[in-house]
Amino acid sequence: MSRQTDGRTYGQADTRSPRQTDRQTDMELWRSSGSVLRSRARSGDVVHAGLAVTLLFGVWYAQGLEVSVGKVHFVHAVNGSTVLLPCTYSSCIGIKNLYFRWDKNDNGTMIKLCDAVIPAEGVEPHMRTYHERVEFVGTSKSNNISILLWNITFEDEGEYICFARNPKEKNRNHSARFTLYVVDELKVVDNTVTVIIVSIVGGIIGFLIFAMVLKALIFFVLGKVQEKNKECLVNSSGIDNTENGLTGSKAENKATPKA
């Protein structure tokens, strides 16, 4: 009893010609290569889609709301003085009803100092203050939401948080921290060592520059002297040759006998 497999019956001779066999083999290879190419194309589309999503998220993040207290995140102030707590905001896509507030971190408990809402760009906020010595000195025209703290005491020392939230960016929020240190008096920094080091370094650099200029000047003078010496040698050799020629001609004239 014969068994049917792949359209052929075992036990029976394959009646196909060699040309038909080659064609079938080529078709199978073409189908397999096409499936491989399609799978690679699908994987490439997935990779491209992933890159596009990543770029979109990157652009969104770069354009998101940010607040900053500057490069220096702390200040030392004398007891009884007035100190500025700086803060600015930025958003590449603009703001609408931007909410911001200042808090003081009192051993883990946030004490609200002030808050406000900026309706739109260029519109000044209506501040609500919860501390009698706090004054808003910022302006929405320059994206400034800084505050002043009057007549500071040692109890005012600590960490202050500037917080902002932008509903236009699906309520994206951001915060920055600024630390206040209250001291009896500001220490005078002794810059003697710094001045000495700068003076020594400046003197060394000045000496090196002077040495380089002097070296260049010496080479320039030596070059000029060598050029003059070469000119003198050329001129003297020319005169010697001329005199030798005249002397030789006179000697020949004297040696010629009279006829």
* 23 in a structural domain: no
In angstroms, the CA 15 to CA 17 distance is 7
77/176 same-domain check: yes
Tally of structural domains, the chain: 3
Q: Is the pTM of this model over 0.85?
A: no
| pLDDT (tens digit per residue) in 29-59 | 656 656 655 655 555 554 455 544 444 444 4
Domain edge (last residue) among 47, 62, 77: 62
CA distances from 120 to 80, 112, 123, 151, 168 (A): 36, 23, 6, 33, 10
157 φ, ψ to 5°? -65, 140
58/70 same-domain check: no
Evaluate whether 150 touches 133 at the Cβ level (below 8 Å): yes
* 172 in a structural domain: yes
97/144 same-domain check: yes
173/91 same-domain check: yes
* 151 in a structural domain: yes
89/195 same-domain check: no
Domain edge (last residue) among 155, 183, 211: 183
107/199 same-domain check: no
Place of tokens 């001609």: 249
* 50 in a structural domain: yes
CATH value at residue 139: 2.60.40.10
143/86 same-domain check: yes
145/163 same-domain check: yes
**H-type helices in the chain, by residue range?**
18-62, 192-255
* 170 in a structural domain: yes
Evaluate whether 192 touches 200 at the Cβ level (below 8 Å): no
pLDDT-derived band at 144 (thresholds 50, 70, 90) equals very high
pLDDT-derived band at 234 (thresholds 50, 70, 90) equals low
129/147 same-domain check: yes
Instruction: Flag whether pLDDT at 243 surpasses 60.
Output: no
Instruction: Flag whether pLDDT at 151 surpasses 50.
Output: yes
* 14 in a structural domain: no
> What's the mean pLDDT in 129-137?
96
pLDDT-derived band at 177 (thresholds 50, 70, 90) equals very high
Which residue segment(s) compose the domain that 78 sits in?
Answer: 66-183
In the structure encoding, which two tokens stand for residue 242, read together?
């001329």
